[in-house]
Structure 1
Amino acid sequence: MKTVLTTGSNGLLGQKITEKVLAEGRVKLIATSKGANRYPATNGYEYAEMDILNPEQVKAVVEKYKPDSIIHTAAMTNVDTAEADKALCHQLNVDAVQTLLSLCEEKNIQLIHLSTDFVFDGANGPYKEQDAVNPLSYYGESKVLAEELLKNSTAKWVILRTILVYGITNDMSRSNIVLWAKGALEKGLPINVVNDQWRMPTLAEDLAEACLLAVEKNAEGIYHVSGKDYMSIADIVQKVADYWTLDKSIINEVSSVGLNQTAIRPMKTGFVLDKTIRDLGYNPHSFDEGLSVVDGQMVVRNK
């Protein structure tokens, strides 16, 4: 059984990987994150505190546990924050990757790196893995820089690009499109939602599964991982309203220009998933199925 170390294990994806490993076995898991462990169960895996901005600590943890693969989920993912604090974004999204990459080269460890649809400009989506990147934001640029580090390294690397990850877990530090929309609509206050940006939202469980498949299949190269449904952000919010029978009349559809966000977003991304389905056996949920998964977890949590 392979030993897998995850970074950012307190985040949504990190917790879903832990959840999956505890339910299914498959790998020996070392979960790492900055600060104390926020996952409620503590048996069946090991947890180590690890700040990815501390190269000495990263080296010590990797040398102690000797993983076969590292799944690198930790990153700055808030697009506007990244635009406002480019230096910190570069440290988290580029420098930290170089730290891990150097160790992976030295110790023959597979590095599975999470990237994003924001490496593309959104002019010609949905995108295939080999399509040319052209980021519009510093977040996207930082992810391109990290991808280049991997491509130019001698390590065994995998880049999993994903889109708009949603789901629910314990003690979440950040919201996501589904939880935000549901929460806002339940408050009954009017919300502005863009109708000219198109995405393929990704259930966190599906992305966690893709990460483990990449380990098990000894994958190398770039893979696109998302949900299977292509829709506008407004459509996503409308579907959330429909699923939980919430008032759609308070959804105010606006153009991207009307939102006046700090960072520019690509208009139409989306992925062609054929390679990931063929090579990894990836089988994502539909968006409706994903909402049902989230709803089921909410019911369990509220008991």
Structure 2
Amino acid sequence: MKLLVTGANGLLGQKLAALLLAQPAVELLATGRGPNRLAPYFPALRYRPLDVTDAAQVRQVLAEEQPDCLIHAAAMTQVDDCELNPDACWRQNVTAVEYLAAACAAQDVYLLYLSTDFIFNGEHGPLAEDAEPDPLSHYGRSKLAAERVVQATPGLRWGIARTVLVYGTLLGGGRSNLVQWVRDSLRNNQTIKVVDDQYRTPTLAEDLALGCWLLAQRQAPGIYHLSGRETLTPYQMAQQVAAYFNLDGTLLQRVDASTFSQPGRRPARTGFLIDKAARELGYAPRSFAEGIALLARQLPG
């Protein structure tokens, strides 16, 4: 199988590269905006720059590469940036999907699109695949619009993988994650404010990558929820991190979301039911405690 991944320099893209390079039956092409930042870590990885907001470039790369499957992991995901830059958000999250979906349909490429729990309003959770979307933010609206593009593109073979609060270690540094932030702050005896009124099912990036591979292998049609199983608040997650590293949990200050002024509204309660993915794909994510242990081995210091 020849598999093309967009957004290869990002967190999920990196985990997909590590996983798929180890599959002997996979010919992997990684793509991303700008240069290959994974070269020091995966010297065998084949990479092509690809701006998914450029329709001609999308058509050219797909025509030249002829993949069997495309996993679209590239997106503008910072909720507040999307709220403040709505045109850029729409171009990257919706227009790009229009280009990719049309090119995939023209060449009979299976498209796996990555979506989010932020397409829901947060009044209920955890949620099954048939829950009614009602996004609160521009980010959520853009991701829902892209889902509908995928579903409505004539002749397209597609799957949609929705996920929740993805965490993991990014090669080469860059963006931190909750585990590292809590560990490092408490080691420095810093008091930190952590939200305790938003409920999620946090997703280890390695588990999400495996779920995507399970879908791609089967070229499974339809919508699948891929996340962890446990419904936790960020405060509860931080408590587990403090306990794992034997740090002072009293430095964690429990607050509600109104403490922070954020342009993009967050849903209060989401999280996913993953019974469909478990039953049909054999998807079996790790617990948050197991995720902390994995990150502890990966993190510097």
Q: Normalising to structure 2: TM-score of the pair?
A: 0.95
CA distance in structure 1 between the aligned counterparts of 2:210 and 2:292, rounded to whole angstroms: 17
How far 1:22 moved relative to its partner? Answer: 2.2
How far 1:172 moved relative to its partner? Answer: 4.0
CA distance in structure 2 between the aligned counterparts of 1:105 and 1:217, rounded to whole angstroms: 18
Say which is worse superposed, 165-174 or 8-17, in terms of deviation: 165-174
* Counterpart secondary structure, 1:266: coil
CA distance in structure 2 between the aligned counterparts of 1:172 and 1:78, rounded to whole angstroms: 17
Q: 1:148-187 to 2 correspondence within 5 Å? A: 148-154=148-154, 155-187=156-188
* Counterpart secondary structure, 1:198: coil
The residue number in structure 2 matching 1:86 is 86
Structure 2: 5+ residue runs without aligned partners? none
Letter in 2 for 1:72: H
Q: 1:67-146 to 2 correspondence within 5 Å? A: 67-146=67-146
Contact 1:114 1:160 in 2 (8 A): yes
Contact 1:167 1:179 in 2 (8 A): no
The residue number in structure 1 matching 2:286 is 285
Q: How many pairs does the alignment contain?
A: 299
How far 1:252 moved relative to its partner? Answer: 1.0
Structure 1: 5+ residue runs without aligned partners? none
* Correspondence 1:16 to 2:12: no
CA distance in structure 2 between the aligned counterparts of 1:191 and 1:43, rounded to whole angstroms: 39
- What CA deviation, in whole Å up to 9, does each residue of 1:268-301 have, x standing for no partner? 1011100011111111001111111111223xx6
CA distance in structure 2 between the aligned counterparts of 1:170 and 1:238, rounded to whole angstroms: 25
Task: Name the CA shift for 1:186/1:68 in 2 (closer, same or farther; >3 Å).
Answer: same
Contact 2:229 2:273 in 1 (8 A): no
How far 1:59 moved relative to its partner? Answer: 1.8
Q: Matched residues, percent identical? A: 42
Letter in 2 for 1:253: R
Letter in 2 for 1:138: H
- What CA deviation, in whole Å up to 9, does each residue of 1:135-176 have, x standing for no partner? 111111110100110111130111100011111131244233
* Counterpart secondary structure, 1:199: coil
Q: Which runs of 4+ in 1 moved over 4 A?
A: none
Q: Normalising to structure 1: TM-score of the pair?
A: 0.95
CA distance in structure 2 between the aligned counterparts of 1:186 and 1:24, rounded to whole angstroms: 39
* Correspondence 1:214 to 2:215: yes
CA distance in structure 1 between the aligned counterparts of 2:121 and 2:278, rounded to whole angstroms: 24
Contact 2:6 2:74 in 1 (8 A): yes
- What CA deviation, in whole Å up to 9, does each residue of 1:65-107 have, x standing for no partner? 1111110000011111111111110011100111100101101
Aligned-residue Cα RMSD (Å) equals 1.4
CA distance in structure 2 between the aligned counterparts of 1:18 and 1:217, rounded to whole angstroms: 18
